[in-house]
Every structure is written in C-alpha cells, then in structure tokens.
Structure 1
C-alpha cells in the first residue's frame, strides 16, 4: 500500500476513532485508577514505524534505556523498512513487525503485534505525528504509555499516561532525551555509543587508514536515496554528476553506490550516468544487508549523502561525511558529536524545511531547496518557490 494512502487512512480513520475512543479512555482512567508510577518489571515496548534512520538519531536514548534495564525485555514495533535499522542498533530483544503491503496485512500483522506487546510495563511511542500509532499504544493496555504532544495533537492527552512536550523548532533528539530523564537513565557518551556499535557488529574503519596514507584513487561512498516519506530530498543523476565535478574537480575517485532493494531502478540510472561521466562505479544497491553496507561505507574515505538512514549511522561511527539538506533541516536531526568530521550543506530557502509541516511540498516535487546547492541562485529559487506556492493554492 502506498505511503500516501497510509497517511490518508491514519489521518481520517485515526481522527474518527480518537473522537470516540478518547472519552472512553478518560472515563476508564477515572474508574480503574491504575498506578502509573514509572516502574519496569519485565517488558518495554518502543514504537517507530517510518524512518529507520531516526532510530540512530534516538540511539543515545535507546542505549540509555537498555543500560537502565539490562535484564528487561525490550520490543520494537516497526515496519519491515525500519526492522533492519532496529537490528543494527543492538538494543532490542525482539520485534513486532507491522506489514503495510495491503490493508489486510496491516490488520493481521497489527493484531499479532498487539498480542506481543499486550500489558507491557511501558510503551514509548516515537511516532509523533501518527494517530493510529497513538491508538496502538492505547490498545496495548500498557501500564505506562509515553508519547509526545504539540498544540495540534493535544488529543493525545488521555491516551498517553506521560505526555512529553515536543517543540517543532527544536532538535528532535532533545525531545527524545526527555525519555532518559523520565526513566531515570544516564545518557551515554559519543565514545560509548560508537564502541557499542563496533563491539556488536565488529565494524572496522579501513577507509580512515586509506585517507591518512593518501592512497589513490580515493574511494567515496554515495548514499543517494531516501525513504518514500520525502523523495524531494534526493538529487537527480545529472545533479550528482555536477556535484561530484564541482567537489572533486582535479581527480576521479572510485565511487561505491549504496541503497536498499527498493532503490534498484534509481540506482541503475545513477550508476549509468556516473559511468558515462568517466567515474569507476561499484554498485552495491540491493545486494547487501544493512550491516554489510555499513562495512563497505567504512571502507571508503568519505561519505557523500543526503538526509538518509546511512548518514545517521555513519555519524555514530564518526566517519568523514559531506551531507546535503533541503526539505529537512540538519539543525533538527544532527546532534553534535565530538570528533566527527563533517561538512553540512543546508539550503537557505524560505520553504525549507517542509517535511512534517505540510503533506504536499510547496514546490510540488521541484525540489528548489536541493537545486539551490548546485548553482541555482537563491533569488531565482525563492522566486520560483513563491510562484509554485501560489499556483498550488490557486
């Protein structure tokens, strides 16, 4: 099922169900008078359905929970796309996977996931914008249900037992870290997080040694693809060619293109274009597990990436990175990491960021924010953006 349909169902059906179920939840809360003291005896559930890279933005929080409750069961409720990222964190004991290929699969896998999470001690909902995720949290009958609220989704009160304020203009990782304080945990250091990932998966950074030794040709990794949530984050193959030519004008580095199985057609077009431009390209898209993709990444000297899941993983392993941002903003997602070498290019365009602010981007897919980083003047970009914005509302 396409993401746009899922979002429509979440908004329409979720709002309808909340209208009827929230009063019942409030009434039962008054009658049952359950003890909502934050105590974990056996089971914690974490929910993240979209954006696997967000689990690595939240990794300090997740690792703090794991260390606070080392002998408790921690379950991740997720979709198949997020599952591979969850496994890579090395935090979770098991997984409840909600499959979204059809409405029937959503219902059947959702019920199965509910049974795995039923009456957990604590349910932590990292899906800030989803109504159905909030209802799932309620239906688990978890004693404590932690979620985030803003002015427009204050309907979560009465469904969550511990509502944490989320400010959209502040970094998301700051919101996540409220959970650490709520559960009386201790935030791990950047060194501890990197050591955890390397110990769990045996990652080695061969690319760093190549860079220090000055070996030629340079080997670069490219993470060019995003999730379906916002494809406007991506450059076209022609734009990647221009970007490489301007960034490395006097050399022709070897390129490793990485991505998931669903990125195959886009990856084929990108690799074809770069080979035509004279680059040596090794395509790994859809051929490797996420763990093996990260190991290929660490064998390169530098990562060129958009706002991708691989970007957030590479940051935690302190790889050298150049990242390019438009529809999303680095200030909201990139926590400072000591010792990390990264160059962050962000568009200064009036309509950026737009993700989670509006369902239909004002540019209608003509991602002027990303194009502004390739020589398109800000004046031209802003003027184009305003005109598109007006026509969209016409």
Structure 2
C-alpha cells in the first residue's frame, strides 16, 4: 500500500438496511477522497453491497461464530491488526461490540456515529415532530470529524448491471416497465396489509412487469401464490443470490418497499424508491437515499397521532398495527404510475 493512502476501517456489522445505507456514503468518500483506502468490517453476506467500490475491501466478521464474545472480538482484532495499519477507525454502528473491539485495535483515531438517541426518543414520545438528521448524514459526519468532509447532494451511482440469460428470462419482455415490490419487513407494523398489497400487485401487473422480493420459507411460499395468481408477475424470493438480486434491482424502473432493507438496496443502486410507512416515520432519519419526500407514503396521523411510535417499528399500540392501511391502494399505484 502506498504511504500516501490513508487506510480507514469502517465498522458496520448489521442490520441489512443500515449496512446498505453506508454504501452511498462510502461511494462519495471514494470519489471525493481518492487518497483513502477503506476496509469495511461487516457480515460476509453483505459483501456484494460494496462490489462497485474500487477502493473498498470487505473484512468478514462472524460475530455469531468465530468472533463471538469478548475472546472472539480479541481474535478478530488480532486478525485485523496483523496485516493492516489503520489511519483511523470509523464506527458507524456504535454498539457494545464495536466499543469492545476498539480496545483491541492498534489505532488511536476512533470516531463513532452520533445516533442522537435523545432526539429520537423525543420524536417517538410525541415531544417533537420534525425531520431529524438522516442516517446517511450521520455517517458522513463521522468521516468529516476524521478530516474527510463529504458532499452527498450530487451522488453518482453504478451503471445498470448486465443481465445473464437466467436473469433476462426472469425479467422477460423488455418493452414492459419493471416494478419491484418488497412487501415484508421485520415487524408487521411496518408492513402494508397483505390483502391490500395484493390489490396493488393486481393493478400494476396489468400494465407492468412485477418482480416480488422476500426471504425465508414463509415469504417465499406466499409470494409464489401471488406469482401464480397474477399475470406479468414473478417471484425471485429464495431463487437468487444477493448478487443476482442486486442485478435485477439495478434494472428496475421503480421499487416499492416498506421501511426495510430492500428500499435501501434499491436506493444505493440509484433506483427510484416508493416507500410505505406504518408506525415508523421518515423524520427518524431512515428514509432511503436521495429520494424525493413525496415518494414516502405515510399513514394518516389524524387517525394515528402517536406515529412514529418507535424508531424500528417494534413498539406500538395494538390498534396501530395496521396503520398503513390508511394509505389507499390507489394512492400507491397512482404514485408509481406517475413516476414511471
């Protein structure tokens, strides 16, 4: 490695959406500061997220296996220290695990993300209702503190992926516009009710190619029924690698997602993303990157005034569980049609 290159270790171990949100920021860092070399410490599964970044290497962390617990983190630090001399460490996670790891790493420059838990708590308690700093900007602030200011206002994105024959067959007729739909989220309170999403799929599949995304046996089986029920609809859940899914997503005209990981994957690839919000809210700073405000379709706060009830969607009054039902299917389909 050239002595002129400044090697930064970036820590962001999970979750999928948060890791994906780091990609546009690291792309800006790479483009605006070519003197920087980056190693991202994250789960091996997320490695494809960084595939188009030339100065980025992924170091896989197995925090549930080899690198579990304090002794595992010590082993991880020894592996990192062995072949690297880091100029600085950017902790985009700021959890106990990354703080313990810090103590074992041979580097004095260490900056952690400011998650501003106090303001987020005020937001979910109804004490304030305003746009908080975005997670992308919070990531960028870490690098600015390290001496690498970033401008996120004029982003560049990778080219559409070239599709192999298998993926071409999945997407089918090139004359049809392509809409991705990812109807699931970690919590049901963040999901659009399934009977309502079926109405959306039915309407859109009449004029467009609809590609369904999900994961796990339950989601795959359910999406298979949608694929069978509607024309011009294909389910890729459980059938592709993450690399392949990203290739498909990069060729979409628009992605419809919940407040979940697929929204951030599409956004980091420069795809237009319409999001549906239930008990969470974009004001908490987790809207997908570089999307107009009106692409976020929000539950009715006149009916559900306590929104956002939590940052992650895990806490809410029981009758708020289907808050997103207050968004009419027609509103969703009309928004997508207007974008296409």
TM-score, with normalisation over the residues of structure 2? Answer: 0.71
- Give how far 1:143 is off: 0.8
Mapped to 2, the partners of 1:322 and 1:269 lie a distance apart of: 22
Q: Highest relative contact order (Cα 8 Å, sep 6+), 1 or 2?
A: 2
Question: Per the alignment, in what secondary structure is the counterpart of residue 198 of structure 1?
Answer: coil
Give 1:241's aligned residue: 198
Q: Is the 8 A contact 2:73 2:100 kept in 1?
A: no
Please state how far the C-alpha of 1:180 moved relative to its aligned partner: 3.7
Q: Report the Cα distance in structure 1 between the residues aligned to 2:305 and 2:294, rounded to whole angstroms.
A: 25
CA separation of 1:105/1:149 partners in 2, compared to 1, >3 Å: closer, same or farther? closer
Q: Deviations over 1:128-164 (max 9, x none)?
A: 4x223222223324211101346769xxxxxxxxxxx
Q: Which residue of 2 aligns with 1:350?
A: 305
User: Given the superposition, is the C-alpha separation of residues 317 and 150 from structure 1 closer, same or farther in structure 2, using an over 3 Å criterion?
Assistant: closer
Please state how far the C-alpha of 1:90 moved relative to its aligned partner.
5.2
How far is the alpha carbon of 1:125 from its aligned partner? 1.1
**Distance in structure 1 (CA, Å) of the matches to 2:11 and 2:216:** 25
Query: Once the two structures are superposed, what CA deviation does each residue of 1:55-87 show, in whole Å capped at 9, x if it has no partner?
Result: 443334323433465455422121244444344
Give yes or no for the alignment of 1:94 onto 2:58. yes
1:343-376 alpha-carbon deviations (Å, 9 max, x no partner): 3202233343344478x4124696333233248x
Which protein shows a greater Rg? 1
Question: Which residue in 2 is equivalent to 1:257?
Answer: 212
Aligned pair partner of 2:79 in 107, 116, 129: 116
Aligned pairs for 1:213-252 (under 5 A) are 215-216=175-176, 218-226=177-185, 228=186, 230=187, 232-245=189-202, 248=204, 251=206
**What is the distance in 1 between the residues matched to 2:75 and 2:131?**
33
- CA distance in 2 between counterparts of 1:321 and 1:150 reads 24
Question: Deviation digits for residues 372-393 of structure 1, max 9, x if unmatched?
Answer: 3248xxxxxxxxxxxxxxxxxx
Aligned-residue CA RMSD in angstroms?
Answer: 4.1
Unaligned runs of 5+ in 2: 119-129, 330-340
1:320 positional shift: 3.5
Aligned CA distance change for structure 1 residues 90 and 270 (closer, same or farther; 3 Å): farther
2-side partners of 1:152 and 1:179: how far apart?
16
| Equivalent position of 1:198 in the other structure | 159
- The count of aligned residue pairs is 303
Shift of 1:121: 2.7
| 1:49 to partner: Cα distance | 1.8
After superposition, the Cα gap between the structure-2 partners of 1:152 and 1:373, relative to the gap in structure 1 and judged at 3 Å, is closer
Question: What pairs up with 1:250-289 in 2 under 5 angstroms?
Answer: 251=206, 253-259=208-214, 262-273=215-226, 275-276=228-229, 278-289=230-241
Shift of 1:266: 0.8
Kept in 1: contact 2:280–2:308 (CA 8 A): yes
Question: What TM-score comes out, normalization by structure 1 length?
Answer: 0.62
Correspondence 1:1-394 to 2 at 5 A: 42-67=6-31, 70=34, 72-87=36-51, 91-100=55-64, 106-107=68-69, 110-118=73-81, 120-128=86-94, 130-149=95-114, 169-187=132-150, 192-194=155-157, 197-198=158-159, 215-216=175-176, 218-226=177-185, 228=186, 230=187, 232-245=189-202, 248=204, 251=206, 253-259=208-214, 262-273=215-226, 275-276=228-229, 278-331=230-283, 332-334=285-287, 337=290, 343-347=295-299, 348=301, 349-356=304-311, 360-363=314-317, 367-374=321-328
State how far apart, in whole Å, the 1-side matches of 2:188 and 2:107 are: 35
Could you tell me which residue of structure 1 aligns to residue 121 of structure 2? none
The structure with more helix, counted as a fraction of residues: 1
Residues 57 and 334, structure 1, Cα contact 8 Å, conserved in 2:
no
CA contact (8 A) 2:192 2:276 kept: no
Conserved 8 A contact 1:304-1:322: yes
Question: For 1:56 and 1:361, how far apart are their aligned partners in 2?
Answer: 24
- Is the Cα contact below 8 Å between 1:114 and 1:140 reproduced in 2? yes
Q: Deviations over 1:29-74 (max 9, x none)?
A: xxxxxxxxxx997531111122233344333432343346545542
Moved more, 66-75 or 132-141: 66-75
Contact 2:32 2:150 in 1 (8 A): no
